[in-house]
Structure 1
Amino acid sequence: MKKLGSLALAIILAMTVLAACGNNNKEASDGKMYIPVISKGFQHQFWQAVKQGAEKAAKEFDVEITFEGPETETQVDKQIEMLQAALDKKPAAIAFAALDSKAATPLLEKAKSSNIPVIGFDSGVDSDIPITTAATDNIAAAGLAAEKMAELIGGKGEVALIVHDQTSRTGIDRRDGFKKRIEEKYPDIKIVDIQYGGGDHLKSTDLAKAIIQAHPDVKGFFGANEGSAIGVLNAVTELKKDGKIIIVGYDSGKQQLEAIRSGKMAGAITQDPIGIGYWSVKAAVQAKKGESVPKMIDTGFHWYDKTNIDSDEIKPLLYE
């Protein structure tokens, strides 16, 4: 009887441990691989398009995903909390677009030590930990934006940049890609200021207005994401500088599309946000299964303006 009692106790303890593991591991609890996708924000339509792509891949590969991000792209602490919560669920893999790579490093190290593959997307993660990153070549894309700006202002004059941040990979690469192309190829173009608006169109408007007032001869602005570009557009409109200042944007969104069609904005660089979301989840599945994936997945970019905005090549890449 004593042995039977000990055996029963051992079985109960084993069942308790198994139940606890099941509660902490979504893959075990419902039979599907669980992959949290943590983006940089929700406030721009860009992220909704990335979500659409991630959901498409989740359906195709029969996995469970969650898609989340902080309310604004300045909330680094909030994003880190989301990453911690995701890791606590012991996912099969994780897709992550870092607002601040340095701040995320300790948790990414934790993921690595727990054998949870990390997939970077969009801005990715400035680290060797991610298996791969699904993203636009932002240096090359911003370089193309610089080429178009130079062409539009006649190869000389003052220009300025409004960038979403100086901590994420996208912010750094778009700033540097534009800046280096101008410095290397256009000695008669001077970058008079670079400011960071957190991707917030109201803050970006105030920054652009201050630059215009400090540099009344500025001929062009590069807005490095949707919110930055809309901020510049608003500033130019409010200061009645329409037609006097060239605006080159990045991404799309309803206001940018309307501005480009009307001629208020010269054009913009578009990414493939649906492709970014799709590949982030697909690569996570492949990594978890031990399949080889390339170190970088280049999801492409294009220049669009009012001449090609409705073309078969560009239209599917734009979102409102």
Structure 2
Amino acid sequence: MFKKNILIYILIFILLISPFLFGIVNLSTKNHDEPKKISLILKTQSGDYWKNVRMGAEVAAKEFNVKVDFTSTGDETDIDGQVGLVNAAIQRKTDALILALGDNNKIVNVTEKAVSKKIHVLVIDNKLSSNKINSYIATNNVKAGKIVGEKLVSLSNVNSRIAIINFTKDSSNNKEREDGLMSIISKHPEMKVIYKAPVDADSESALVLTKKLVLGSEKVNSIIALNYISSIGVAQAIDELGLAGKINVITFDNTPEEIEYLEKGVIEAIATQSPFGMGYLAVKYAVLSLQGKKIPKYVDTGLVVIDRSNMYLPKNQKILFPFTQ
């Protein structure tokens, strides 16, 4: 009788735990599903701006437990190479594409091809002339230009002779920044734009041009550089000429070189974007989109003007040095 009771208890125990056992089996099967593939294609992986984009993406990838593949061409003006990288990602049957590419028109066809293959596409930094993407995550560049223009007005005097140094005529980012900047300058007839044009894609070209503008007949006394490549060249030129504090210099982005020049008084202010935030949010929203959740169509990652009066505030230190976030 005792043995019979024991057998009954054992049978009841097995029946009670069997759903749990089957649950474990089912959960284990789910955990072995193939992870989603996310590809992030950058204009380039050199330069601190793009390193910060990658850093933000890597933090999000770790937080959301996904793997992100990073690729880029060697030159951010190599649009054909970028098209090739998008095609390669399509061939690999990636689940989501995050694109930071160098042209907002020539990339459209291959991007929409990816969309037609049911790939979730998010664009960061540079606009794309398509409404088929899932999300666009970037600085509002017209607004950024206006903010920089207001800062320039606060620094300038009645004899302002301004140079606007850009990087590439094909970038919608740079055109929008310039448009926003000019909308502010145009309200002040005492401020004269003496020079407005792009330079070659290297800091040396900006350095040579800056010296010519400052020392030549143009007599420029205020310079706005609209990206990090030209920013470094402009600041280096002013530093070498010993004109720190005599020429108003406003730059874009927050490379270590620019931060050093800001501390030295060579640069008056830095218009600082959030490349870390772009990378982080792009991966976050790619994951949510793959999960079937609604994500915003557009995200403005913001811009902060940092000068020597506010650069040591804790909130601005986190912007200048995103690895402290």
Aligned counterpart, 1:55: 58
Structure 1 residues 194-221: Cα deviation after superposition (integer angstroms, max 9, x where no partner): 2223552112222333433555321211
| Aligned equivalent of 1:317, options 313, 316, 319 | 319
Aligned residues of 2:120 and 2:133 also touching (Cα < 8 A) = yes
Greater Rg, structure 1 or structure 2?
2
Aligned residues of 1:165 and 1:199 also touching (Cα < 8 A) = yes
Aligned counterpart, 2:190: 188
| Aligned equivalent of 2:136, options 133, 137, 146 | 133
Deviation at 1:110, TM superposition (A): 0.7
Structure 1 residue runs of 4+, over 4 Å off?
none
| Alpha-carbon RMSD | 2.0
- Greater shift in the superposed pair: 41-50 or 210-219: 210-219
Structure 2, unaligned runs of 5 or more: 1-31
Distance (whole Å) between structure 2 residues aligned to residue 245 and residue 73 of structure 1: 30
> Is the aligned partner of 1:106 residue 2:103?
no
Aligned residues of 2:37 and 2:94 also touching (Cα < 8 A) = yes
Aligned counterpart, 2:291: 289
Structure 1 residues 173-198: Cα deviation after superposition (integer angstroms, max 9, x where no partner): 22222122211x32221222222235
Aligned residues of 1:196 and 1:204 also touching (Cα < 8 A) = no
Counterpart of 1:254 in structure 2: which amino acid?
A: P
Structure 1, unaligned runs of 5 or more: 1-28
- 1:130 to 1:208, Cα distance in 2 relative to 1, 3 A: farther
Percent identity over the alignment is 30
- Greater shift in the superposed pair: 232-241 or 187-196: 232-241
Structure 1 residues 259-295: Cα deviation after superposition (integer angstroms, max 9, x where no partner): 1111111011111221110111112122223221122
> Is the aligned partner of 1:144 residue 2:132?
no
Distance (whole Å) between structure 2 residues aligned to residue 203 and residue 88 of structure 1: 39
If the length of structure 2 is used for normalisation, what is the TM-score? 0.83
Deviation at 1:147, TM superposition (A): 1.0
Aligned counterpart, 1:75: 78
Q: How many residues align?
A: 291
| Aligned equivalent of 1:95, options 93, 98, 102 | 98
Distance (whole Å) between structure 2 residues aligned to residue 228 and residue 219 of structure 1: 17
Aligned counterpart, 1:211: 213
Distance (whole Å) between structure 2 residues aligned to residue 40 and residue 108 of structure 1: 15
Counterpart of 2:204 in structure 1: which amino acid?
A: L
If the length of structure 1 is used for normalisation, what is the TM-score? 0.85
